Chain A
Amino acid sequence: MYKVVIGLEVHCELETKAKNFSSAPNTFSQIPNENVAPVDLGLPGILPVPNKEACRKALLTAQALNCTNPDEVLFDRKNYFYADLPKGYQITQVTKPMGINGYLDIMVDGKIKRVDIHQLHLEEDTASLEHHPKYSLIDYNRSGIPLIEIVTEPCIESADEAVTFLEDLRDVFLYLGVSEAKSNYGQMRCDVNISLMEEGSDKLGTKVEMKNINAFNNVRAAIEYEIKRQSELLERGEKIVQETRRIAEDGKTYSMREKVDAVDYKYFVEPNIPPVSLSKEYLDELRSTLPELKLSRYLKYTQLGISSEDSATLSKERSISDYFEEVLSYGSDVELSVNFVITAILSTLNKLEISLNDLFITPKMLSGVVDLVSKGDISLDHGKKILYKAIDEKMDPVELIEKEGLHQINDEGELLKLITEIMDENGEIVRQYVEDGNMSAINFFIGQTMKRSNRQANPNKSKEIIISELERRKNNAGK
């Protein structure tokens, strides 16, 4: 058996208004070369000036990944020639990355796995190339878009761990609002380094590199394929070649080229960007804006007694989790709140294809309904019915109840009056109970009571009254 050793390098474009080193727009465009400043084109005489917001987002992400921030913002140049790199160098960070020595805890098979982060740095994206049969075309729109790269330590041991890490990392980006991280737009991409080592050995195997994988299921496929391929080679006593491979549509990986001697990128400090110091106050203030992240919220929910499935659903997206927690913050019943958020709110969002922002019902309004249910003033069913109506009519559900008199009927006299009426109209059913002992009559009358009361009758109270009224009639019949 072999132990799998995987390291990931994840690139993610940051969401900003302007590019990282120029003030051209950072927006995805179908029109080629539409969002390009002289800086992005590498014209002679250009100078880069870093984007404050990109720096802030990179620093914040580093904090979320438990990294140590540097004492100043500093950039370096990575020198190489390529068609998609108009300046002939990429501005990146080597000397002082935005974060070093961090980690992200993930949950795999119900256990917590700590993925160590080597570093997070801020750089710029390259231009994009479009390949045609006889030529390639360069579009500079992407050139200069702020990009963070997160490099893990080689501590990931399976495709499951790798994919969970990537999904959780994307959720971190979304939680922080630093990127939309859409892998289908290439906003989030991943390089995978994988090697196998003999179980019990401490000698690392030969590393194979797979570059620029967009979709997470391709990461899984590539890793699984490589584990199989490399295991088979090793079992046959063959050597693993140190190389770069790519994943093809058939889910297999193919060799692109063997690793020749490492490229020397001749890094040096970017001389046009003087260091900008980062005060402890600034970094502390930034840290104070960090939201509680997914895993921590998940664990908190399970401790509240919420099922792991529901906890996962509630913590998956920050907006939902925040919504849910705000409902709880008003002191509402946990179980009912979970029930309302998951079955009523989330399903409504899905059905209407809207986001939480577009929903009229605030957490405060929802908590009002939840409280009525938990006090027994209205039934769960009734509460949800009111909620849907409130969503439709864009009204506070509690106000809706008042306005339309949708209160639950709890008054025993009123209920008895209604039930007596119904029973009088349905003498045959009463007879079946009284004479034949047919218990299903109870349910029949509950149904009728709910129907006739517009579902406003308190079901529990109604049931009690129905049973006692039927018993009363039975006793009377016997006399």
Chain B
Amino acid sequence: MYRGKSILELRESLDNGNVTSEELFGSANKLAHYFQEDYNSFVTIIDKCKVKRSNSLISGIPYALKDNFSTTGILTTGSSNILKDYVPVYDATVYKKLKRAGGVLVGKTVLDELAMGGTGTTGHTGIVRNPWDKERQIGGSSAGSAASVALGIVPFSIGSDTGDSVRKPASFGGIVGFKPTYGLISRYGMFAFASSLDHVATLTRNVRDAAIVTDILKGQDPKDMVTLKDDGKKYVDTLDNDIKGRKLFYIKEICDLDLYKDSGDSELIEVLEKFHELLDKCREMGFVVEEVSVDKDLFNAIYPTYMCISCAEATSNNANLTGIQFGPRGEGNSIEEIMFDARTKGFSELIKRRFILGSYILQKENQEKLFLNACRVRHMIVDKITELFKEYDGMILPASGGIAPKFDEKDEKLSDRYLLLENHLAIGNFGGFPSITLPFAFVSDMPVGINITGGVKCDDIVLNMAERIEELTGYKDIYAKVGDIDV
């Protein structure tokens, strides 16, 4: 009965006295257990309802939290063996705020190990499956957070986004993923992957809910120095603003159909055709949509740049995972041996490879050529996009060139054709731009997402534009209606 309902719908039911928050929790808890075996959204499902009422819109409403947010007394693993028994002793700021607002935590969701990876297949408790097709990935790293929302278990969940970790799985899961401006939401208590790219982000089934949750989470935090002074805005209030004359651009080097004519990738062609159809509808609605051209060589460098910066920061950020003050203790007769054993056993292969890459990039003899050059490319790309945002209100692009891949599909992200198409979402992280993904089409019965990215601190405008475009897509409040359960 309450599955798949939005925050506002649940709010109404709660306020009308049709349901209690305990009942909502019970329903979400049942759903969580019911889908756990097939989809594996959760590392931990919480069975005890703790409600703290407030006058917030989310008071009494269930939600899920990615298992890389520190929660006092609740196991928090980062989906890694190296933290498989770690029970935090402090709360992430985001968790604190949600608790204070009366949100009811249903579970901690599976991620790609330590948020590194985009497949949802590398968590230490197994792979997460796509609710629209069990044979397909949901994407990652916020895999469980996306799956739990796409299954209709909870109306919203919290994820983290370092390259596309919320916005990509949102696209594959037919839901809304919103990563606000860097520093809008405190990262304190979110396990660091790459600090200069890490964002807290929300997963919801409509844009309004994204605005509601972001309104609750945002604000300056003395514990996170990069957080911004409060802008005093309530994003829900400006969602319905007129968009007439708002200017959007798309990048020719990503969206031009001619580039892919001979690819034989019919799904990709369909995605792009539908993308251009949507752009036409946007124009009809009153948006100005224009094509811009960028330096392809520079933008093709997004992926290697992302890898260099994120792996470099990650290798340092995760140097605290040694099994000494927390995590499973390694065996050995010296301090080096116990660290070595804990880390050898605790990390999976993918993570180790990224750490080695990151540390190589930071080595004295490589730092200039690899790390600093990557930081320079980042600067150039951000400058270019920032310049475009002086003229345009947003950049609109397909979030991905296709639908969620199957588990056995070969990763083609790095081939020349897809290098830009599949990796452009990282631009949002490079420049800290607010960026939102929402479903806009179905291809081969699978959802595909569109992405809108705007200028720094223009979160209200991005949400406003997304809300209006959501009206055009007809895919608001969708979820995968799988399973034979009614609670």
Contacts and interface: CB of A to CB of B under 8 A. Distances in A.
Interface of A: 38, 41-50, 77, 79, 81-83, 86-89, 136, 138, 140, 264, 266-268, 271-274
Contacts of A138: 324-325
Given A45-B68, A266-B362, 18 more contacts: A38-B89, A41-B325, A42-B325, A44-B70, A44-B76, A45-B92, A45-B188, A47-B188, A47-B192, A47-B224, A79-B319, A83-B335, A88-B318, A88-B321, A264-B363, A264-B364, A266-B364, A268-B316
Contacts of A77: 316
Contacts of B362: 79, 266-268
Contacts of A136: 335
B68 to A, nearest CB: 8
B187 A86 contact: no
B190 A45 contact: yes
Contacts of B425: none
B316 A89 contact: yes
12 contacts: A43-B320, A44-B68, A44-B83, A44-B86, A45-B92, A47-B187, A47-B224, A48-B225, A49-B222, A266-B316, A268-B362, A271-B194
Contacts of A48: 225
B35 interface: no
B221 to A, nearest CB: 9
A302 B294 CA distance: 73
B143 interface: no
A interface SS class: loop
Contacts of B438: none
B223 interface: yes
Nearest to B343: A81
Of listed B90, B222, B363, residue having the most chain A CB within 10 A: B90
Contacts of A79: 315-316, 319, 359, 362
B81 to A, nearest CB: 14
Contacts of B400: none
A464 B390 CA distance: 98
A43 B89 contact: yes
B208 to A, nearest CB: 29
A343 B68 CA distance: 67
B322 A88 contact: yes
Contacts of B190: 45
Contacts of B367: 266, 268
A48 B88 CA distance: 18
B198 to A, nearest CB: 9
B interface SS class: loop
Nearest to B189: A45
A273 B316 contact: no
Contacts of B363: 264, 266
Contacts of B316: 77, 79, 88-89, 266, 268
Contacts of A271: 194-196, 313
Contacts of A86: 320, 324-325
Nearest to B359: A266
B21 to A, nearest CB: 28
B243 interface: no
Nearest to B77: A44
B380 to A, nearest CB: 18
Nearest to A39: B223
Contacts of B70: 43-45
A89 B88 contact: no
Nearest to A50: B225
B225 A45 contact: no
A99 B187 CA distance: 31
A45 B188 CA distance: 6
B320 A42 contact: yes
A138 to B, nearest CB: 7
B339 A43 contact: no
Contacts of B223: 47, 49
A83 B92 CA distance: 26
B222 A44 contact: no
Contacts of A87: 319-320
A49 B336 CA distance: 30
Contacts of B315: 79
Given A38-B89, A79-B319, A268-B371, A47 B225 contact: yes
Contacts of B191: 44-45
Interface string B338-365: 0100000000000000000001001110
Contacts of B313: 268, 271
Given A49-B225, A272-B226, A43 B319 contact: no
Contacts of B319: 79, 81, 87-89
Contact of B324 (A44, A49, A83): A83
Given A87-B319, A264-B363, A272-B195, A44 B78 contact: yes
A88 B89 contact: no
A45 B65 CA distance: 14
A181 B223 CA distance: 29
A273 B187 CA distance: 13
Interface string B403-420: 000000000000000000
Of listed A42, A45, A50, A82, residue having the most chain B CB within 10 A: A45
Q: Would you list the 9 A-B pairs with minimal beta carbon distance, nearest first?
A: A88-B319, A266-B362, A271-B196, A42-B320, A271-B195, A45-B189, A44-B191, A45-B70, A83-B335
